Amino acid sequence: MILFAQVVLPVPLRKSFVYRVPEEYQKKVRKGIRVLVPFRKNLLTGFITELFSEAPLKNIKFKKIRELLDEEPVFSLSFLSFTKRLSDYYYSSWGEILHASLPPSFAVKTRTVIYICKKGKAYLNQDSCSDSEREILKFLTRKHYTELYLRRKFKKSSFSSIISNMEEKGLISIKKEIRRSPKREWNNTQKAPTQIEIDDSLDSDLRKKADEIKSKRGEDAFSCFLISSSKKKREAVYFDLIRETTASGLKTLFLFPEIELSDRILKEFKKKLGENAAVLHSRMSEKQKELTWERIRRGEAEVVAGPRSVLLTPFEKLGLIILDQEHEDSYYQKESPAYDARIGARLRAEEEKAVLIYGSEYPSVELLYRSRNKGSLIDLDKVQKTQFKRDIIDSRKQTGVISRAMKTGIMKRVEQKEPVTLFFNRHGYASSLVCSQCDFTPKCQNCEVLLTYYKKEEKLICRYCHYSTDLFMKCPECGSRMVPGGGFGIEVLEEELKRNFPDSCIRSLHKLAVKKKNQEEEIIKDYRAGKIDILLGTQMMAHQSKLPLSYFVGVFYPESILRLSDFRAGYKTFRYIKETMKFVKDAPNSEFMVQTYLPHTYPIQNAVYDDSVSFYEHELRNRRLMGYPPFSYLAELLFTGKDLRSVARKSRKLLDVVKDKKDQIEILGPSFAPVKKLRGKNRVQVIIKSKERSSLDEILEKIFKDIKTRKSVFVYE
């Protein structure tokens, strides 16, 4: 019986391919197994997703599977179903998603290697040998090289035709070589027993909420909850649910937003759960990834934790998925394969009939709205009146970088030897440099953006691709003096603080200030020890779990987030202020100040004066009026390419493709993306809004089918 297999490949195509199964593999072939298959001129690792006893199409000569790479499937049927749904939801490549689910050692790579033949060596001395041929042949007399290396070495526009002609003449031979990563030996050494802490953080109220969630799993069906509360209370419920899940013979998947949290979370898990927890993330070495993945596959880890990529870890008996700090944008992967781990967690929980828990102190507007409507919101925080003073300083009535009220507040704390924490979420010294005469402004050579001026580094740096150039203060166009332009950054604020408080120890905590390993921890340690008087940082510092509480916390110009072309800008501003407010000691003599040019905007007002209810009501009212999620489905289509004319033409074609569907959708664009050129690629975007997901899917399918160009889609709901 001749079998045929449907195979998906790790290429950016939303297609599957059919291959013939050789007779020697017909008894071994199964869904979820990796195979080596010919694709165009290469050999690629593919994944079997379907089997047929008859050819799906007649009168076609199918290529053969070259090799079976597994004896047992690496993916379960439920995992295959989940990843297929995820790829369909975000119009991503199913093969790329499956490829991302495996450690690097599972990748079988092929390379094209070029050898010189005897005839080629003899041909070197003949007059008929062209200069290009002689140059390449002479180089190949040393040893064989890959085609890619030779292409980069000689940089000839006609390289392919030269190589092809040389092969036809018999001067060279071209071979495909398979390179396999060596598998590490699995050494299951017995670890020393871990001392598990007794966890008494669950009070009667929290236990009642945890029991409510546990009862749902007994129904053997998917259920979803949003826990809105402080970190301490959320974690108390999390660990109780994890223990109960483990006791019932099921496993837990725990997602957190940032890789930097990995060590802290693993340490916490080991203290409370023992050695049955594993953390997996992209910054681990190849060996660490493979051994951890193998441990998970063998069922030795009851809890698997990590950032968004851990969602794609293939393991079975999943009973609980926890996605903490669901509000973080880092859960959205915009590079191929694109997906939102928050939606992905829901799809996987549905496939596994597992309980899904979202957790956040400041839930996203969309999730909070849906959770309230479905009755799945669990609010663990009781309203408590805080004691510290709070104030909004109107910068329009002030002169200078630091307002009089802010200076007075800082001075008071410095004199009392109390540490001060300040936040300003803008990098560098100035947004740009500009010529004082001709208005020339240096731009990134790869992106259509102004270079940020970093005075300390004496550099101009692109905030997107990190291209940098040495600082120049003389205009290359007219020779006049260059001056800082646009808005000022954190370096200006640091200079002002040093000018106003010369005897104080002032340190900065942001990406460029932290250059050495563990430097961030050292700064926090010194601050806790009282060696630093004023600590100034960006939003990165607001995510520091070890940052001590302070009697004075100041935030400068949070409205910079409001200027983003993002329907969630109001929510992000509100959340940023609330995150910084957590570092104020709750005492009558503590102060929290926000200095802003927009003192009356509702995200700033509601955040500073602790009125979450009014903020969410106001935000929902605005989104309903404008037709934004959660009252619609929104797709952001991004067309990219080196040729701007071609990209623009293809994006305009979209209007013709969907013209008969305009009564079902609203289209904004085509227009340049907020960053119209990124890393050398021009970017044109189209926003499509629809009240029904089915209408949006129908239109997106038509666009992907009819418009053949590089494009990506991001879906918001």
Q: What percent of the chain has pLDDT over 90?
A: 21
For residue 81, pLDDT beyond 90: yes
**39: domain CATH number?**
3.40.1440.60
Rounded (5°) CA angle 149-154-158? 105
Residue written as tokens 């033409």? 649
Does residue 684 fall inside a structural domain?
yes
SS3 content of the chain, % helix, strand, coil (to 5): 35, 25, 40
Could you tell me the pLDDT band of residue 190, with boundaries at 50, 70 and 90?
very low
Do residues 98 and 127 both lie within one domain? no
Residue written as tokens 């690496």? 74
Does residue 274 fall inside a structural domain?
yes
Q: Which residue has the higher pLDDT, 344 or 229?
A: 344
For the ranges 136-145, 176-185, 661-670, which has the lowest average pLDDT?
Answer: 176-185
Does residue 529 fall inside a structural domain?
yes
pLDDT of residue 193: 47
Name the domain count of the chain: 5
- For the segment 334-360, what is each residue's pLDDT rounded down to a tens digit? 777 888 999 999 999 999 999 999 999
Taking the CA atoms of residue 62, residue 68, residue 72 and residue 76 in that order, the dihedral angle to the nearest 10 degrees is -40
Do residues 712 and 678 both lie within one domain? yes
Does residue 190 fall inside a structural domain?
no
Does residue 36 fall inside a structural domain?
yes
pLDDT of residue 184: 56
For residue 477, pLDDT beyond 90: no
Could you tell me the pLDDT band of residue 192, with boundaries at 50, 70 and 90?
very low
- For the segment 592-608, what is each residue's pLDDT rounded down to a tens digit? 999 999 989 999 999 99
Helices (H), 90-227: 94-100, 118-123, 131-140, 147-154, 159-168, 204-217
Average pLDDT over residues 61-66: 87
Q: Which pair of structure tokens corresponds to residue 555? A: 């935030």
- Residue 658's nearest CA partner among 683, 693, 695 is 695
**Which structural domain, as residue segments, surrounds residue 164?**
110-180
**What distance in Å separates the CA atoms of residue 77 and residue 31, rounded to the nearest whole number?**
8
Do residues 571 and 682 both lie within one domain? no
Average pLDDT over residues 361-367: 91
Among 146, 180, 214, the domain-final residue is: 180
pLDDT of residue 210: 80
Do residues 58 and 84 both lie within one domain? yes
Do residues 393 and 302 both lie within one domain? no
Does residue 576 fall inside a structural domain?
yes
Do residues 657 and 538 both lie within one domain? no
- For the segment 12-39, what is each residue's pLDDT rounded down to a tens digit? 888 899 998 888 888 888 999 999 988 8
Cβ–Cβ < 8 Å for 500, 402: yes
pLDDT of residue 195: 46
Among 588, 622, 656, the domain-final residue is: 622
Do residues 297 and 333 both lie within one domain? yes
**352: domain CATH number?**
3.40.50.300
**638: domain CATH number?**
3.30.70.600
Do residues 398 and 524 both lie within one domain? yes
Do residues 362 and 405 both lie within one domain? no
Does residue 663 fall inside a structural domain?
yes
Among 562, 592, 622, the domain-final residue is: 622
Residue 305, burial from CB neighbour count under 10 angstroms (0-12, 13-18, 19+)? buried
Average pLDDT over residues 264-270: 76
Do residues 652 and 534 both lie within one domain? no
Average pLDDT over residues 61-89: 90
- For the segment 539-567, what is each residue's pLDDT rounded down to a tens digit? 878 777 778 889 999 999 998 888 877 88
- For the segment 399-443, what is each residue's pLDDT rounded down to a tens digit? 788 889 999 999 999 889 889 999 998 888 888 889 888 888 988
For residue 198, pLDDT beyond 60: no
**What distance in Å separates the CA atoms of residue 175 and residue 6, rounded to the nearest whole number?**
27
Average pLDDT over the chain, rounded to whole? 85
pLDDT of residue 2: 67
**What distance in Å separates the CA atoms of residue 508 and residue 514, rounded to the nearest whole number?**
9
- Residue 370's nearest CA partner among 239, 575, 228, 578 is 228
Average pLDDT over residues 258-267: 75
- Residue 688's nearest CA partner among 91, 86, 94 is 91
Does residue 353 fall inside a structural domain?
yes
pLDDT of residue 578: 92
Do residues 518 and 557 both lie within one domain? yes
pLDDT of residue 571: 93
Do residues 115 and 85 both lie within one domain? no
- For the segment 607-629, what is each residue's pLDDT rounded down to a tens digit? 999 888 999 999 999 999 988 99
